[in-house]
Each structure stands twice: as structure tokens, then as C-alpha cells.
Amino acid sequence: MSTHDDGPSKAAPQVSDLTIENITQNAKLVNSETANARLKFLMDKLIDHLHDYIRETRLTTEEWTETIRFLTSSGQICNDVRQEFILLSDILGASVLIDALNNPKPPNATESTVLGPFYTEDAADVANGESIASPNKGEICLVLATVKNTKGEPIEGARIDVWETDGNGLYDNQYEHREKPDMRGRLTSNKQGEFYFKCVKPVSYAVPTDGPVGGLLKALHRCAYRPAHIHFRLSVPNSDYDDLVTALYINGDPYITSDAVFGVKKNLIVDANKVNDIALAKMYEVNEQDWLIRYDFVMTTKKETQELL
Amino acid sequence: MSTHDDGPSKAAPQVSDLTIENITQNAKLVNSETANARLKFLMDKLIDHLHDYIRETRLTTEEWTETIRFLTSSGQICNDVRQEFILLSDILGASVLIDALNNPKPPNATESTVLGPFYTEDAADVANGESIASPNKGEICLVLATVKNTKGEPIEGARIDVWETDGNGLYDNQYEHREKPDMRGRLTSNKQGEFYFKCVKPVSYAVPTDGPVGGLLKALHRCAYRPAHIHFRLSVPNSDYDDLVTALYINGDPYITSDAVFGVKKNLIVDANKVNDIALAKMYEVNEQDWLIRYDFVMTTKKETQELL
């Protein structure tokens, strides 16, 4: 029963003369008229923690005013290719925590990690062996990968979205004039569960620091950099396999242990070495001086995830 | 020492392979390089509560995505005369809690309450006896008030900002074409601590419900109305008196116990009765059928507040 237009509900709790001591209880009571038990629960916990935070910190009016200003400008800097609240969630460790809670993995499976704000739907289909990047976007890197299940069986027909920055550390959609997708592509695994492509050797880069979150990182003297990585999103259409949102991080990157968004997991760290093999170079049409990354992805079924939840 | 441009700090904690169990501790460690102890403390508590909230509710990825969307659209609907995050703070009980923590009052003083988002700096000076509203904005109401200190001594020269809605429940700055301030004015108390003016008899009104916060109130089946009230901001220039941000609420209003923003305090509820007194009506140039509100404000000194903090 909505109380919007009909005056206050007779059943609604009386809320006046609220104090530091009784405001929390009462602010929860007024949410009790919804039939949505999950929403009620989420609001209850939100009010508990928000009020406890305010009381524990004895938050000042000025600090709250500054917080409101921060939130407002965070919303206002968002656009089609920039999501400041995702960045805020990332640098507070919330994104990786929510990912971990929602995507538990058995020990031998590839771990998931943060999606980040730069995924787009419009990546072009790329055949095995092709490059996901247009020419001269950075150092060339060959990726040789497989997709298997936790029993070690190859998965054929997995769709693999790949996206990364160019050699300047910028995604295609961070440039002002983006004519078509670049440094991203959609591959399909073959009968042996293999997929392979050329791309730009990823580089470390700073998250956007010209907005409110950048100001916060600066005030905290925090590292704004992410170590070099390539994003992957794997899914198997019409199957029981869980989608896998993950990334591979390059061993030896100076920021590998200080990722601004906490996305690195040991399970996802790979070596990038020179190809150094004339036969391999010939087979995949790269040079011996180009880079090579190998990785074997292990996907889990929805049933396996369910058992861990 | 900023780590923005120089690579990660040697002293910075190593943060990789973070799990549901160790993310909170690590997300706090990376904030430890700031010299601003208060900021560090606020971030620590924020991360503790945010992470605990996520763990306790086992927040889903979809719910977090929806939250990010809510925050983004809240920022984007804000403009010069609309502040959705203040409204959000208000309906969560945060505003009134922060006000109570920052503005404790001894028992005989007038309590403070939420400022709300509709205060403006540009109210015109109004002499005692004049109206703060242009003609035909609603039912006429005479306010007879005094300002005293906690010893009962009149305070001369207090500046009193007053603002309220018109009879339609809208502030002047909620209308598209606002030529000059209306339903607002700035008064000065006389030697006896008195100030008096005519205004519109306030009416109850719904907070803006066409934005994200309105959607949340609707989903919660919550009352979106505020009871009829007049806002006051009292200050005494070059004195030891604390500014007093408060409001008077009209006894008998159907929403007096269900204020959507929890602002009502018993101390601030006043009767609005007909003038019903020919001599009084004549003295203040109103009609016997007009409305009358009386209130005696009691301001505290900074010293008195300090003793309660």
C-alpha cells in the first residue's frame, strides 16, 4: 500500500523527536511497509552501517557537505565511456569483494576479477590467428590460450571477448574520436579448446585521475596505477558453464603488487617472454622479437558454483 | 610522498591475491601513506562498514550494478536548485543524525533541525511587520517571535533568514522562471529581541519524487511528504552565539509524525490559530481570519555547545 497520495498510513510508525539514540531504529521502521523483503533487508543494513559510521567518526557537517559534493560531481563526470562510481567502488575494494562473493571458484579453476568500466558490446569477431588491434598500436604480442573445464576437457565453441589498452595505456573509447572498436575482439575456441590471437603487449596505466576519485587517491597518497593486463570475458552459449570475467596480469610489472583496484590474483599472473622460436614465429606469423603469452583458462559449471555459494 | 608518478612506494603494502577474508585489511593498508590522520580514519571506517555491509548482505553483482546506476543518476539530476544526494541523506536519517551530533543543545534551548536543500543566500531584507511573500501566494500568516539566550535575555540585532513554500507547496526556486526571491526574507530582531513578519501559512508537501530517491521511496512504500513548516536560520554577527538552523512545524498537520526526512522535534511544533483578536489584527495589519503563529527562539553560545560536545 503506497502512502504517497493517501496521507500517512495508519500502520506507519510515528517518527518525530528523533535523537542520536533513536534515529536508527525509527529510520528502519519506516521502511517496513514494503512487501520486498530483500529491499527491506538491504535498507536496514545500509541504515545501520551508515548511522554507525556517522556516530563512530562523529562526522562533521563540513565533512558531510564535502561528501555530498564528492558524490554529486562523481555522478556528473560520468558519461558513455566513463563511470566514476565504478572507479570509486574499485579503489575501495568493493568491486573485487563483490566479485569474490558472487563468483567463488574451486581451487583448480581460473579466478574471476573485476570487469572494469571499459568493456563494450561492439567488439568485432576475430578469427584465430588474427590481431585484435589495428597496426602500430604498440608492441606485438601473441596469445596462445586454451579453454577447458575442471576435468581438463577442452571446451569447443566458447566465445571469448578480449579487450585491452593500446601501448599508451588508453582504451579505444578513451579517445575523443572512436570510429570503430580497436584493441578488442571476440574469438571462438576450436575443437581442441584453443584460441589464439595477436594483440598489443599490455602496459601499466593510471586510472582516470582528473575527477573526484583521482582527487581522493591523491589526498590519500595512493598509487593510481594498474599493472599491465588483458581483459577476458568467456562464455559458452547454451551450456551449463558459468560466464568467466577475468584478466591476465604480466609478471614483473612494477605495479603487480600495488594495483589501484586490487584486481591481481596469483592465479592470473602470466609471463610475457619474447617468442624466441623461429618455427613458432613462422607458424603464427610473428617475429622472434615479438612477445608471447600462454594461458590455459579453466571454466566452471553453474552447478560447481552453486555448490560453493 | 605521492606515489602517482614515481612508481609504487617501497613502503606500500603488497596487495595481490586478495580474498573475501583479507581484502578489508589490505584496502585499509594502502591508505596508510597519507599524512592526514582524519582522512585515514574516515577511510578506514568507510571501508570497514562498506565491506561488512557487502559481506553481511551477500550483495549480488546485479544489486551493486543497480546501486551504481542509482548513484550516477542521482548525481546527474542535481542542478542549482536540486540536490538529490541531500535528499537521499535526508530520507536515510543521516542529515538529522549529523545535525544532532554537531549541534547539541541544552534542554531549554531551541533545537536545530535539517537545513534542507532550498535555502538561498539572496533573500531580501524585510523590516519587522512586512511580508516575506508577494501577494496571493497562499493564506496569510502572521509570525510573532522573539530571540533570547538561555538566561532569558533578549538578543538584539540577530539576523533571521526565513524561507518557506507557497500555498502550492513549492519553493520559489522550484519554479522554472524565478525573477527574484519570494517566500523568503531576512529580518533583524529589535531591542526586545522581537521580530515579526507576515508570510504564507505553510502547507505539507511531497519531496521531489521524480528522481532516483523518489523511486526508492516508492519501492519502500514510504510517505514522501513533509509536514507544513517554516525554515529559520538565526545568527548574531560578531557574537559568541552559535548559528541556529531550525524550522517550526504546524501542530495537527497530518504528516507531523511521518516526516519523510525525520526533521520534526516536539520542541519545534507550534500552533497555528486564527488571529481572532481585533486589536492584534489592527496592530499588525492583518485580518481576524488570518493565521497567527507565536514562537520564542532560544539561542545558545558556542561555549555552551562546546560543553556538550
A59: closest chain B residue by CA = B98
Which residues lie closer than 8 Å to B79 by C-beta, 6 or more apart? none
B268: closest chain A residue by CA = A17
Per the listing, cell 556516530 goes with: A55
Instruction: Say what the pLDDT of residue A1 is.
Output: 32
User: How many CB atoms lie under 10 A from the CB of residue A87?
Assistant: 27
Shortest Cα distance, chain A CAs vs residue B139, angstroms: 22
Retrieve residue A141's grid coordinates: 604480442
A15 vs B47, B258, B269: nearest CB: B258
Percent of chain A whose pLDDT exceeds 90: 90
CB contact under 8 A, A51 and B206: no
Chain A positions in Cβ-Cβ contact with residue B8 (cut-off 8 Å)? 223, 225, 254-255, 257-258
Residue A278 is inside which H or E element, if any? helix A278-284
Q: Which ipTM did the prediction report?
A: 0.93
Kindly report the average pLDDT of chain A as a whole number: 94
Among candidate residues B263, B239, B287, B293, the one with its CA nearest the CA of residue B113: B263
Give 3-state DSSP helix, strand, coil % of chain A, rounded to 5: 30, 20, 50
Chain B positions in Cβ-Cβ contact with residue A57 (cut-off 8 Å)? 41-42, 45
Beta strands in chain A (DSSP E): 140-149, 159-163, 184-188, 194-200, 205-206, 225-226, 229-235, 244-250, 269-270, 273-274, 291-299
| Sheet with B273-274, side-by-side order of all strands | B194-200, B140-149, B291-299, B273-274
Instruction: Say what the pLDDT of residue A16 is.
Output: 85
Instruction: Say what the pLDDT of residue B130 is.
Output: 98
Range scoring the smallest mean pLDDT among A51-55, A80-84, A196-200, B60-64: A80-84
Over residues A21-54, the pLDDT tens digits come to 999 999 999 999 999 999 999 999 999 999 999 9
Instruction: Say what the pLDDT of residue B3 is.
Output: 40
The whole-angstrom separation of Cα B187 and Cα A32 is 42
Shortest Cα distance, chain A CAs vs residue B272, angstroms: 19
Best of A65, A68, A309 to disrupt the B interface (most B CBs within 10 Å) is: A68
User: Phi-psi bin for A107: left (phi > 0), alpha (psi -120 to 50), beta?
Assistant: alpha
Instruction: Say what the pLDDT of residue A196 is.
Output: 98
Q: Which domains does chain A have, with CATH numbers?
A: 105-308 (2.60.130.10)
The whole-angstrom separation of Cα B148 and Cα B132 is 22
Best of A38, A77, A97 to disrupt the B interface (most B CBs within 10 Å) is: A97
The whole-angstrom separation of Cα B73 and Cα B84 is 9
The whole-angstrom separation of Cα A163 and Cα A185 is 7
Retrieve residue B254's grid coordinates: 497530518
The whole-angstrom separation of Cα A156 and Cα A140 is 27
Best of A1, A5, A17 to disrupt the B interface (most B CBs within 10 Å) is: A17
Q: Walk along chain B (309 residues) in steps of 10 and give the mean pLDDT of each run.
A: 50 82 94 95 98 98 97 95 94 97 95 92 96 97 98 98 97 90 98 98 96 97 96 97 98 96 96 98 97 98 93
Instruction: Say what the pLDDT of residue A217 is.
Output: 97
User: A181 pLDDT exceeds 90?
Assistant: yes
User: How many CB atoms lie under 10 A from the CB of residue B159?
Assistant: 17
Among candidate residues B131, B235, B152, B150, the one with its CA nearest the CA of residue B189: B235
Phi, psi of A270, rounded to the nearest 5 degrees: -125, 155
Burial B253-278 (b: 16+ CB within 10 A, else e): bebbbbbbbbbbbebbbbebeebeee
CB A91 within 8 A of CB B21: no
The whole-angstrom separation of Cα A62 and Cα A80 is 32
First to last CA, chain B: 35
Instruction: Say what the pLDDT of residue B8 is.
Output: 60
Instruction: Say what the pLDDT of residue A4 is.
Output: 45
CB B209 within 8 A of CB B224: yes
CB contact under 8 A, B59 and A209: no
Chain A positions in Cβ-Cβ contact with residue B255 (cut-off 8 Å)? 7-8
Which residues lie closer than 8 Å to A208 by C-beta, 6 or more apart? A82, A84, A87, A214
The whole-angstrom separation of Cα A270 and Cα A248 is 6
CA atoms lying within 13 Å on the CB side of residue B19? 6
Instruction: Say what the pLDDT of residue B193 is.
Output: 98
Which residues lie closer than 8 Å to B261 by C-beta, 6 or more apart? B87, B90, B91, B95, B96, B114, B116, B207, B226
- The amino acid at B236: V
DSSP annotation of B238 reads T
User: How many CB atoms lie under 10 A from the CB of residue A5?
Assistant: 8
Among candidate residues B211, B234, B213, the one with its CA nearest the CA of residue B163: B234
User: A2 pLDDT exceeds 60?
Assistant: no
Q: Cα separations (Å) of A254 from A228, A291, B168? A: 9, 18, 62
Retrieve residue A244's grid coordinates: 568467466
Instruction: Say what the pLDDT of residue B2 is.
Output: 37
Average pLDDT for A276-304:
97
